Structure 1
Amino acid sequence: MLYPELYTQLEKARWNMEADIPWDTFDGSLLSDEQAQTIKMNAITEWSALPATEMFLRDNRHDSDFSAFMSVWFYEEQKHALALMEYLRRFRPEYCPTEAELHAVRFEFDPAPPLETLMLHFCGEVRLTQWYRCASEWHTEPVIKAIYKHLSQDEARHGGCYLKYMKKAIVQHGDVARAAFAKIGLLMASSGRSAKPLHPTNLHVNEALFPNDTIQSRLPDPDWLEAWLTQQIRFDEPWEARVVGGILRNLSNLFEQPLETILQLNRYRKALAASVKETHVLPDPAI
């Protein structure tokens, strides 16, 4: 069971919102209305850990270890939303999300395969680590810079926790788990070929609600994310390369395979898919 170890690990690294955020260093001249609006959108996006946790608990009823870990992950993710909202409450209260705006991102996700979902959220944590690091560098106001730095470090730790559950899944499920992780890893590492940055919050998760079934589509400004990334914090190719490199390095270690490029990952994925298909092939009834 990983939960006791991960609880202790994250408890030691936990920051205190009152003591560890330098609230008294706020400089209002360094915070624009445009920036305050992006903080609001990120606060609402972080609130979507609520429906994500409900999804994880529903789809992992078979796994009490992972479900217990959700108690820590959910706490820390909601703390992220709270820290951003507290910043706005103190310094730009007119930009604080309303309860209705927060509740709008709570909706049911369709059931999904647990292994694929685990990998999807691992990649999401890798991406958020870099998004928030970039955001911290973009801002010049000291308090929000510190908040985004804490958030980035938390997301990196969460990614490490998910990775340990992925290792456990490989021990339990072998190539079935490897195939699932490689498939989603290829998708998430290929964001440069897509029209949008791939992250769990902008993927469709409820067929009946389509197209209003992504977290981003339910924000007050559904188009803010692309503008935030491309025009504001300028999450450009070198930053994207850090995301892709992080996914490939971790998968390389996880699979004990040299995976330095997306092409290598795709070849490995195809080999795994063929292996899993052969392993689970049904006997010919005529034999």
Structure 2
Amino acid sequence: MLYPQLFADLEKARWDMADDIQWDAFDASLLSDEQAMTIKMNAITEWSALPATEMFLRDNQDDSDFSAFMSIWFYEEQKHSLVLMEYLRRFRPELAPTEEELHEIRFNFDPAPALETLMLHFCGEVRLTQWYRRAADWHTEPVIKQIYKTLSTDEARHGGAYLKYMKRAIDRTGNEARLAFAKIGFLMASSARSGKPMHPTNLHVSKEHFPRDTIQSRLPDPEWLERWLDEQIQFDKECEGRVIGGILRNLSSLFGEKFETPAELNRYRKQLLAGQGE
């Protein structure tokens, strides 16, 4: 089982919201209304760990090890939402999310192949690591800068934990796992083709709720993500390259291959598919 060691490792790295965040360093003159509003949107978005965890537990009922790990992931992701809300509660209480705004993003996701979902969320952690690093650079107020740096480090650790479960899946199912990971990895690394940043929170996940079946579509400001990325934190081509590079490097290591572009990963995926037909 991976859960016991992951629990021990993540327990050692855990930060305390009361003692480790330097709340007393807050400088009101360095926080704009525009910046504060983005904190609210990220606080609500992080709350989506709740429906995501419900999805993971539903779709992994045959995997108690991974389901147990969800207890850690869920706790830490909800803590991300909580620390952002605590920041607003202390310093911009009028912008703190309401319970209704938080509950709006809790809805049932359609069932999906467990291995593809695992890869999707691994890629999401890689992307969030970079988004939050950039957010920490964009913000000028020292406390929120520290918070975003802290969240970025957490997301990187979560990505590492998902990677361990991906390695385990390859050991158990071989090319079935490789094909699932290559398929989703190619899609998530192909942001130039899709015309938007690919992340679990802006993907359609429920036919019943379409078109309001993405997390982003159910936020108070559904258009905020693109504006945050393009105009505010300025997540440019170089930044996006770090995300794509992270996905390709990890899959290269996982598969024992070398992928320098999404196209090379896609060729590998097609080779796997051809092998299934032999």
Could you say which TM-score interval applies, normalised by the shorter chain?
over 0.9
Question: C-alpha displacement at 1:29, in angstroms?
Answer: 0.5
Question: C-alpha displacement at 1:265, in angstroms?
Answer: 0.6
Question: C-alpha displacement at 1:77, in angstroms?
Answer: 0.0
Equivalences for residues 126-145 of structure 1 within 5 A: 126-145=126-145
Q: Work out whether 1:200 is the aligned partner of 2:200.
A: yes
Q: How many Å separate the matches in 2 of 1:271 and 1:30? A: 53
Q: How many positions carry a matched residue from both structures? A: 278
Moved over 2 A (4+): none
Q: How many Å separate the matches in 2 of 1:23 and 1:235? A: 27
Question: C-alpha displacement at 1:160, in angstroms?
Answer: 0.3
Post-superposition Cα deviations, 1:218-270, rounded to whole Å, max 9, x if no partner, equal 00000000000000000001100000000000000000001111121111010
Post-superposition Cα deviations, 1:196-215, rounded to whole Å, max 9, x if no partner, equal 11000000000111110000
Question: C-alpha displacement at 1:276, in angstroms?
Answer: 2.9
Q: What TM-score comes out, normalization by structure 1 length?
A: 0.96
1:245 match: 245
Contact 1:176 1:276 (8 Å CA) reproduced: no
Equivalences for residues 10-159 of structure 1 within 5 A: 10-159=10-159
Contact 1:179 1:276 (8 Å CA) reproduced: no
Contact 1:31 1:141 (8 Å CA) reproduced: yes
Structure 1 unaligned blocks of 5 or more: 279-287
Contact 1:3 1:69 (8 Å CA) reproduced: yes
Q: How many Å separate the matches in 1 of 2:173 and 2:110? A: 23
1:272 match: 272
Q: How many Å separate the matches in 2 of 1:232 and 1:242? A: 18
Q: 1:119 to 1:136 in 2, by over 3 A?
A: same
Report the aligned-residue RMSD: 0.6
The residue identity in structure 1 corresponding to 2:274 is A
2:254 match: 254
Q: Work out whether 1:163 is the aligned partner of 2:163.
A: yes
Post-superposition Cα deviations, 1:68-114, rounded to whole Å, max 9, x if no partner, equal 00000000000000000000000000000000000000000000000
Q: What TM-score comes out, normalization by structure 2 length?
A: 0.99
Q: How many Å separate the matches in 2 of 1:276 and 1:132? A: 40
Q: How many Å separate the matches in 2 of 1:174 and 1:276? A: 12
Q: 1:277 to 1:67 in 2, by over 3 A?
A: farther
2:6 match: 6
Structure 2 unaligned blocks of 5 or more: none
Q: What percent of counterpart residues are identical? A: 75
The residue identity in structure 2 corresponding to 1:45 is T
